[in-house]
């Protein structure tokens, strides 16, 4: 489990394709505190650490495998995560940690597209288009995870919804580099998922 509070910006150092994709991701995390088999949310995708080490220049890294199923559900299947790609990172939630965002599983539901951006004071207003199958789970003042970042929905119109990104969030995540047309990983709120499931069951 995660909270959607990004704690590092990683950089894809290399990507190789065997049966699946294998990505080596540079990080400023203390590698001594990362066990092989640990879960790290990478742009909102829960991935398992399979190796770790240090580059010749001192850059720490961890390695993950990305299955075909994960690629089909996330923006990794669209962009391929070329070397140099910057991604939001979050370590798994530990018992006793502060829950500053909302409960995030790291199981991406689909890909949304940024369709508009405009400045509102120091913040940036972004409008996203969600897949039709996921739009019904998104509600005003509800929570979504976008590229692993816990964000509050301001408004919803059909399959489009708006959020505001404050300066601090732009500084400590990759959102400061976002542009219209970007495809981002979307995870709907877990509570919304189960409420909708119960409603479907009751109506059946």
Domains 8-91 and 110-203 in one fold: yes
What's domain 110-203's architecture? Beta Barrel (2.40)
Distance separating alpha carbons of residues 21 and 90, to the nearest angstrom: 20
Domain at 8-91, CATH class = mainly beta
What value does the mean pLDDT take over residues 141-170?
96
Distance separating alpha carbons of residues 6 and 185, to the nearest angstrom: 14
Residue 55 has pLDDT above 70, yes or no: yes
Distance separating alpha carbons of residues 59 and 26, to the nearest angstrom: 6
Whole-number pLDDT of residue 90? 97
Among 95, 84, 100, 74, which residue's Cα sits nearest to residue 15?
84
Residue 171 has pLDDT above 90, yes or no: yes
Name the residue ranges covered by the structural domains of the chain.
8-91, 110-203
Distance separating alpha carbons of residues 113 and 136, to the nearest angstrom: 16
Distance separating alpha carbons of residues 25 and 190, to the nearest angstrom: 28
Measured CA angle at 125 (ends 120, 127), to 5 deg: 155
Please give the structure tokens belonging to residue 130: 């969600």
Residue 193 has pLDDT above 90, yes or no: no
Residue 191 has pLDDT above 70, yes or no: yes
Percentage of the chain beyond pLDDT 70 is 90
The dihedral region occupied by 39, where left means phi > 0, alpha psi between -120 and 50, and beta the remainder, is: beta
| Long-range residue pairs from 166-170, CB within 8 A, at least 24 positions apart, any chain | 166/122, 166/123, 167/122, 167/123, 170/124
pTM, two decimals, is 0.92
Distance separating alpha carbons of residues 24 and 121, to the nearest angstrom: 38
């Amino acid at each position: 489990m995660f909270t959607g509070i990004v704690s590092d910006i990683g950089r894809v150092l290399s990507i190789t394709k065997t049966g699946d994709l294998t990505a080596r991701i540079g990080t400023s995390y203390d590698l001594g505190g990362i066990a092989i088999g640990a879960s790290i949310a990478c742009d909102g995708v829960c991935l398992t650490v399979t190796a770790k080490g240090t580059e010749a220049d001192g850059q720490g890294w961890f390695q993950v495998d990305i299955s075909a199923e994960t690629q089909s559900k996330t923006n990794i299947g669209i962009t391929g995560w070329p070397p140099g790609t910057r991604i939001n990172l979050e370590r798994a939630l530990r018992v006793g940690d502060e829950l500053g965002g909302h409960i995030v599983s790291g199981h991406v539901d689909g890909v949304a597209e940024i369709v508009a951006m405009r400045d509102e004071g120091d913040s940036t207003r972004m409008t996203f288009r969600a897949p039709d199958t996921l739009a019904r789970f998104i509600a005003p003042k509800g929570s979504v995870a976008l590229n692993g970042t816990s964000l509050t929905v301001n408004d919803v119109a059909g399959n489009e919804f708006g959020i505001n990104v404050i300066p601090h969030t732009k500084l400590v995540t990759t959102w400061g580099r976002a542009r219209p047309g970007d495809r981002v990983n979307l995870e709907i709120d877990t509570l919304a998922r189960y409420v909708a499931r119960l409603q479907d069951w009751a109506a059946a």
